C-alpha cells in the first residue's frame, strides 16, 4: 500500500531538515558526491508540498561502487527505479534520464534520495525547475494549486497524481528554459 498523498503549506523547517540530511550524505559519500542539493517543492520558499525532502546527489559515475556501499552504510535502500520521466520533445537518449534512487533510512525524516550524473539532462532539469520556481512566484503559485487539487482528487492514486503532475512540470521547465536563456542561468 502506498502512502496517502497530502500536500500541505510550506514549512520553514524544511531547509534546516535538508541541511541535516545533506551533512550525513556529504560525510558518508565524500568525494563521490560532486554536490548534494535540495530540490523539489520543499526547496522552494513558500511552496506547498508533500512533507518529503527531495535530495539530488550529483555524481560523476552512477555505477561507482563507492556510491552503493556508502548508501548501505547510511542504511539507505536501493530501489529498482533507474530512470526519470522523459519530457515530451526532450532528448530520448536513455542515459540522459538514468538515475539511482534510494529509500532513506527509516530513522530519517521522509526523504527521497535521487542520484544523478553530472551534466545529464535529468540533473539539470531538477535544478532548473527549482530555481525557476524560486524566481517566479506566479509559476510557483500555479504549480502549488495544481498539486493541491491533484492531492485532493487522487489522494490514494499515485499513478493518477504523477500522470498529471509530470507533464505540468515539463510545462514549467519549458518556461524555465526561456528564463534561463534570458538570464544566463546555469546549474
Residue 137 confidence (pLDDT): 97
Q: Does residue 161 lie within any of the structural domains? A: yes
pTM for this model (two decimals): 0.96
Burial of 184 (0-12, 13-18, 19+ CB in 10 A): exposed
- Determine the average pLDDT of the residues in 83-88: 94
- Determine the average pLDDT of the residues in 109-114: 98
Residues 6 or more apart from 70 whose CB is under 8 A from it? 28, 29, 30, 32
Model confidence at 96, pLDDT cuts 50, 70, 90, reads very high
Q: Does residue 8 lie within any of the structural domains? A: no
Sheet with 77-78, strands from edge to edge, namely 33-39, 53-59, 111-117, 100-103, 77-78
Q: Does residue 122 lie within any of the structural domains? A: yes
Q: Does residue 5 lie within any of the structural domains? A: no
Closest of 124, 134, 130, 112 to residue 53, by C-alpha = 112
CATH code of 32's domain = 3.30.460.10
pLDDT tens across 119-176, in order?
Answer: 999 999 999 999 999 999 999 999 999 999 999 999 999 999 999 999 999 999 999 9
The domain of 123 spans 14-183
Q: Does residue 7 lie within any of the structural domains? A: no
Which residue blocks in the chain are alpha helix, DSSP H?
14-29, 65-74, 121-135, 137-153, 158-183
Residue 27 confidence (pLDDT): 98
Q: Does residue 4 lie within any of the structural domains? A: no
Count of the separate structural domains present in the chain: 1
- Determine the average pLDDT of the residues in 34-53: 98
Closest of 116, 129, 158 to residue 40, by C-alpha = 129
pLDDT tens across 20-29, in order?
Answer: 999 999 999 9
Residue 1 confidence (pLDDT): 52
Residue 3 confidence (pLDDT): 85
| Cβ atoms within 10 Å, residue 117 | 20
Q: Does residue 6 lie within any of the structural domains? A: no
Q: Does residue 1 lie within any of the structural domains? A: no
Amino acid at each position: 500500500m502506498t502512502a496517502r498523498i497530502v500536500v500541505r503549506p510550506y514549512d520553514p523547517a524544511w531547509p534546516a531538515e535538508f541541511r541535516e540530511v545533506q551533512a550525513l550524505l556529504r560525510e558518508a559519500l565524500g568525494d563521490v558526491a560532486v554536490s548534494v542539493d535540495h530540490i523539489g517543492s520543499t526547496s522552494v520558499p513558500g511552496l506547498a508540498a508533500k512533507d518529503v525532502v527531495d535530495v539530488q546527489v550529483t555524481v560523476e559515475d552512477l555505477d561507482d561502487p563507492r556510491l552503493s556501499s556508502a548508501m548501505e552504510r547510511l542504511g539507505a535502500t536501493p530501489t529498482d527505479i533507474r530512470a526519470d520521466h522523459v519530457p515530451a520533445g526532450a532528448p530520448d537518449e536513455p542515459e540522459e534520464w538514468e538515475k539511482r534512487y534510494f529509500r532513506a533510512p527509516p530513522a530519517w525524516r521522509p526523504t527521497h534520495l535521487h542520484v544523478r550524473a553530472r551534466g545529464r539532462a535529468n540533473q539539470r532539469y531538477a535544478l532548473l525547475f527549482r530555481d525557476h520556481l524560486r524566481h517566479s512566484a506566479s509559476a510557483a503559485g500555479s504549480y502549488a494549486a495544481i498539486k493541491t487539487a491533484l492531492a485532493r482528487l487522487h489522494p490514494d492514486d499515485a499513478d493518477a497524481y504523477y500522470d498529471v503532475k509530470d507533464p505540468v512540470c515539463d510545462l514549467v521547465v519549458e518556461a524555465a528554459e526561456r528564463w534561463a536563456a534570458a538570464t544566463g542561468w546555469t546549474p
